[in-house]
């Protein structure tokens, strides 16, 4: 049974080894090693975070419009939402059944787009790095 394969791929074990201590070992006053390359630049970080946040917020907004819009429809159009469809009232059908596939679609789109976007950003960052450091990456 391939339930758990021995030997973790991971290179470190923050829970078994004290990761917090590693993250924390440096005293606040110690200078950090200076990185002049693109990957460590403000430009890259800002662009990456903006793109990630934009995607997440867009997906969250699509979801919230439906989730918060449904009570509003219930409030302002109660008779319409009580329309019978196959025995269900419209609002029961939406909330009790259709909401689940809707969320699957949103999360499926998010995962696909975000994996592609992050792979693209990583490739671009490496390329830019190589350009700036004259072909010697890192």
Partner 1 sequence: MCSLLNFPVLAAAELNYWVVAFSAVTVIITIWMGFWAAKKARTASDFFVAGRSVSVGWNASAISGEYLSAASFMGIAGMVMSSGYDALWYPVCYACGYLFLLLFIAGPLRRFGAYTIPDFAEGRFDSPLFRKIAVIFVLFIGFFYTMPQMNGAGKALAYIFGALDFRGSWPDFLLSHDAKTGEALPGLPYWVGVALVGAVITVNVALGGMKGITLVQAFQYWLKMFAISVPVFVLLAVFGGYGKNLDANVSPPEKAAGITWSEAAEEAGVKRQALPPNDAAKKISVPADDTWISPFGPRSSKPALTAKAAGVEIADTRPFALLWTFSLIIALVCGTAGLPHILVRFYTNPDGVAAKRTTMWVMILIGVFYLFPPVFGVLGRNLMPELYNGGSGVKGTDGSVLKLPLLIGGTWGSILSGITCAGAFAAFMSTFSGLLVSISGAMAHDIYGRILRPGSTPEQRMRMFKVFAFVCGAAAILLGLVVENFEINMLVGWAFAIAATSYFPLLFLSTWWRGITMKGAAAGMLIGGVLSLASIVSTMFADNWGADGLKAWYAQHPLVRTLAEQPAIWGLPLAIILMVLISKATRATVPADVRAKMLVLHAPETLGLKQEYIKEHEGH
Site for partner 1 in 93-122 (CB under 8 A): 95-97, 99-101, 103-104, 106-108, 110-111, 114-115, 118-119, 121-122
Nearer to partner 1, 68 or 134 (CB): 68
For residue 85, the SS3 value is: strand
> Is residue 132 close enough to count as binding partner 1 by CB under 8 A?
no
Rounded CA separation 103/90 (Å): 18
Work out whether 4 is an interface residue with partner 1 (CB under 8 A).
yes
| Interface positions, 17-46, toward partner 1 (CB under 8 A) | 17-28, 30, 32-33, 39-40, 42, 44-45
What region does 123 belong to: left with phi over 0, alpha with psi -120 to 50, or beta? alpha
The pair of structure tokens assigned to 83 is 């329309």
Shortest spacing between CB 37 and partner 1, in angstroms: 11
Q: What angle do CA 69, 91, 62 make, to 5 degrees?
A: 30
User: In this complex, which beta carbon is closest to partner 1, that of residue 79 or of residue 136?
Assistant: 79
């Amino acid at each position: 049974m391939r339930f758990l394969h021995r030997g973790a791929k991971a290179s470190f074990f923050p829970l078994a080894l004290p990761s917090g201590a590693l993250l924390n070992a440096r005293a606040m006053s110690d200078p950090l090693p200076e990185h002049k390359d693109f990957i460590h630049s403000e430009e890259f970080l800002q662009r990456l975070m903006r793109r990630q946040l934009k995607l997440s917020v867009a997906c969250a907004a699509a979801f919230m419009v439906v989730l918060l819009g449904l009570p509003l429809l219930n409030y302002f159009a109660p008779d319409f939402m009580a329309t019978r469809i196959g025995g269900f009232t419209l609002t029961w059908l939406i909330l009790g059944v259709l909401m689940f596939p809707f969320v699957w679609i949103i999360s499926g789109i998010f995962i696909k787009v975000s994996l592609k976007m992050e792979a693209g950003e990583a490739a671009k960052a490496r390329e830019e790095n190589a350009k700036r450091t004259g072909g010697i990456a890192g």
